[in-house]
Chains A and B, each alone.
Chain A
Amino acid sequence: MSPLMPETSHGTAPAAAGIPRRSVLTTAAAAVAALGGSAALTGCSGAASASPSRAVPTHGPAGRPDRGGTLRIARPPASDAETLDPASALSAYEYLGALYNRLVRIAPDGTVAPDLAESWEPDAKATTWTFRLRRGVTFHDGRAFTSADAAYTLRHILAKATASPQAPVLSPLVDPGRLRTPDAHTLVVPLKSPHAEFPSLLTHYNCYVVPEGSAGSIGRTGIGTGPFRLASFTAAGPGRVTAYADHWAGRPVLDAIDFYTVADMQARSNALLAGQVDLLSQTNLDFATARVVAASDRATIARAENAQWYVLPMLTTEKPFTDPRVRQAMKLAYDPAHILKAALQGAGTAGWDNPVPPNDPAHIATHPAHDPEKARHLLKRAGHERLAVDLYTSSYDPIFTPMALAYQESAGRAGIRIRVKTAAADSYYTQIWMKKPLMATYWYTGRPVDQLLNQVFRGGSSYNETAWSDKEFDALLDRARREIDEGRRRELYGQAQTLVVERGGAITPMFADRLVGISRKVRGYAEHGFEFDYLHIGLKGA
Chain B
Amino acid sequence: MFSFLLRRVVAALGTLLLSSVMVFLAVQALPGDVATQVLGRDATPDAVAALRKQMGLDQPAWERYADWIKGALHGDFGTSLVTTKPVGGEVAQYLGNSALIAVVTVLFAVTGSVVLGVVAGLYRDRWPDHLISTVSLVGMSVPEFVVATVLVLAFSVTVPVLPAVVLYGPGAGVGQLLPAVWLPAAALAIVMAAYIVRMARTSVIDVMASEYVTTARLKGLTTWRVVTRHALPSALLPTLHVIALNVAWLVGGVAVVENVFNYPGIGKLMLTSVQNRDLPVIQAIALISAVVYVVCNLAADLGSMALNPKLRTRGGRIR
Whether A associates with B in a native complex is: yes
Spell out A's residues near B (CB within 8 Å). 1-6, 8-17, 19, 21, 25, 28-29, 31-32, 37-38, 40-41, 72, 74, 79-81, 89-90, 160-161, 163, 165, 167-168, 234-238, 260-264, 266-268, 270-271, 273-277, 296, 424, 426-427, 429-431, 433, 462-463
Q: Judge whether A234 and B249 touch: CB under 8 Å.
A: no
Interface members, chain B 146-170 (any A CB < 8 Å) = 146, 149-150, 152-153, 156-157, 160, 163-165, 167-170
Q: Judge whether A165 and B47 touch: CB under 8 Å.
A: yes
Cα–Cα distance between A15 and B41 once the two chains are bound (Å)? 7
Q: Judge whether A1 and B245 touch: CB under 8 Å.
A: yes
Q: Judge whether A426 and B275 touch: CB under 8 Å.
A: yes
Cα–Cα distance between A235 and B150 once the two chains are bound (Å)? 31
Q: A25-B259, A237-B171, A277-B167 are in contact. Are A79 and B276 (CB under 8 A)?
A: yes
Q: A262-B165, A270-B152 are in contact. Are A6 and B256 (CB under 8 A)?
A: yes
Residues of B contacting A: mostly: helix
B42 neighbours in A (Cβ, 8 Å)? 14-17, 89, 165
Q: Judge whether B143 and A28 touch: CB under 8 Å.
A: yes
Chain A CB within 10 A, most for which of B152, B167, B245 = B167
Q: Is B31 an interface residue (CB 8 A)?
A: yes
Tell me which of B40, B170, B256 contacts A13 (CB under 8 A): B40
Q: A1-B245, A3-B144, A32-B146 are in contact. Are A264 and B41 (CB under 8 A)?
A: no
Spell out B's residues near A (CB within 8 Å). 30-32, 36-47, 50-51, 80, 82-84, 140, 143-146, 149-150, 152-153, 156-157, 160, 163-165, 167-171, 191-192, 195, 245-246, 248-249, 252-253, 255-256, 259-262, 268, 271-272, 274-276, 278
Residues of A contacting B: mostly: loop
Q: Judge whether A427 and B37 touch: CB under 8 Å.
A: yes
Tell me which of A3, A41, A276, A429 contacts B163 (CB under 8 A): A276
Q: Judge whether B195 and A2 touch: CB under 8 Å.
A: yes
Q: Judge whether A237 and B260 touch: CB under 8 Å.
A: no
Q: Judge whether A165 and B164 touch: CB under 8 Å.
A: no
Nearest B residue (CB) for A1: B245
A236 neighbours in B (Cβ, 8 Å)? 169, 272
Q: Judge whether A41 and B150 touch: CB under 8 Å.
A: yes
A237 neighbours in B (Cβ, 8 Å)? 168-171
A429 neighbours in B (Cβ, 8 Å)? 40-41, 43
**Distance in Å: Cβ of A367 to nearest Cβ of chain B:** 27
Q: Judge whether B145 and A29 touch: CB under 8 Å.
A: yes
9 A-B pairs with the lowest CB-CB distances in the bound complex, closest first: A16-B41, A13-B40, A237-B169, A5-B252, A274-B164, A2-B249, A430-B32, A274-B156, A163-B50
Q: Judge whether B259 and A81 touch: CB under 8 Å.
A: no
Nearest B residue (CB) for A237: B169
A10 neighbours in B (Cβ, 8 Å)? 259, 271-272, 275
**Distance in Å: Cβ of B280 to nearest Cβ of chain A:** 13
Q: Judge whether B160 and A8 touch: CB under 8 Å.
A: no
- What would be 9 A-B contacts, judged by CB atoms less than 8 Å apart? A3-B253, A10-B275, A12-B40, A13-B41, A165-B47, A237-B171, A262-B165, A267-B260, A427-B32
**Distance in Å: Cβ of B44 to nearest Cβ of chain A:** 4
Nearest B residue (CB) for A462: B44
Q: A5-B255, A16-B42, A89-B39 are in contact. Are A261 and B169 (CB under 8 A)?
A: yes
Cα–Cα distance between A31 and B145 once the two chains are bound (Å)? 10
A431 neighbours in B (Cβ, 8 Å)? 31-32
**Distance in Å: Cβ of A271 to nearest Cβ of chain B:** 4
**Distance in Å: Cβ of A542 to nearest Cβ of chain B:** 17
